[in-house]
Chains A and B, each alone.
Chain A
Amino acid sequence: MSTVVKNQLRVCLLSVKYNIMRAMVNRVAFLMNILFMILNNASFIIQWLILLGLKPEIGGYTLREIMLFWGLAASSYGLANIFFARAFSLPNLIISGKLDSFLVQPKSVLLSVITSATASSAIGDFLYGLAIICAFCFSVQRLLLFLLFAVTGAVIITAFAVLMGSLSFWFVKAEVFGSNMVNSTINFSTYPDGIFDGAARFLLYQVIPVGMAIYRPVHVMISFDLTELLMVLGYAVLLSAAAAFLFYRGLRRYSSSNLMEARI
């Protein structure tokens, strides 16, 4: 590993570590955030119990498989918000000119920015996902796959957030649009893909990255398929590259921007 990458990684990890240390200063609030987030997620089990009470199978899935969707979505989203929480508030940083302090540092601006915060409740999300897997459909192979896909899912969701957030470099009003798109990934990922067809399916696999972040991985976990697994990995790399490209293009614009709002 080259020293540049190593130094960069060291800074990122230190940043996340300090974020968590900061959150832990108030121990009660920290633990409450985690615990209540778990309860929060668990409340949706009620929704599915009710729906499955009305119909024994939804989109070809029973409770066990639907919980896989939920678990993977929670853990991916959790990981993304433990390591890259700032990716989700990127527009705010861009619009209020808060990238300045990152620009005077000799490190990757993108990585420094997105690792500069951690949502402590995200730890609850991650743990909830793990608990769901262990409770509803445990096997060693599945757990390993689950961990791998939680990472790729986190990368895909983060990259998508960066991609959407970077739109704010060009359009101030893009903030609301971007955050709506990102939220929609979360909304979709907690419903099984079997209920969607036609245009909706196209949307989920081609426009919003839910298909690659959640649906395909769940298929692989239900019945293993190497090609699908490789597709997910490739997609994660590709989307990250696209996100980095757009962000740095935007950053040049940020530095040469003439809008006062961004610079006071």
Chain B
Amino acid sequence: MSLFQEMSEAVISGSAKKVKELSEQALAQGNDPQNIINDGLIPGMNIVGARFKANEIYVPEVLISARAMHAGLNVVKPLLSAADTTNKGTVVVGTVKGDLHDIGKNLVCMMLEGAGYKVIDIGIDVAPEQFVKAVEENKPQIVGLSALLTTTMINMRNTIDLLKSYPVKVMVGGAPVTEKYAQEIGAHAYAADAASAVDRANELVAS
């Protein structure tokens, strides 16, 4: 098994210690930091995401794998030069105004990060204007909006309306949100759960 394959396996099995050691070893062998991320860490998380989506593994197992991936990122990231930080794209994620729920949003952030996106988590209770500000500052390809309440879902529409003049795709999700609602409010994509958020994001950056 190649070093990168071994690293992916260690991410999948959630062994933070092993991922850290293998990342150090890979650096010592002269591997490019960006390659370590793209060919060692992310392929592991991609498999984790697919298994999660297929209900073969569960939230705690995804969390353990994410922790392992971060153990590797912590070793490698400081060595990335500014020019190296190419990634699949940038996603700004937040829970809309009036809504304080963060668990679903946090899972989405974790899955996107694992899939190789740069994730800017701007938190909960985020006003439409704050989303706009984050878009101006970070120039993301995608904005992810989360809502858990039927009373705060409406703020997805308000946010999307404000974002219309920006070259950014909007993805929405959360317990009361449906595909139909997403279309009504002009979202570019609807993600039913954290794992499909990655698929939708991949489709959006490809389109």
A and B co-occur in one complex: no
Chain B interface residues toward A at CB < 8 A = none
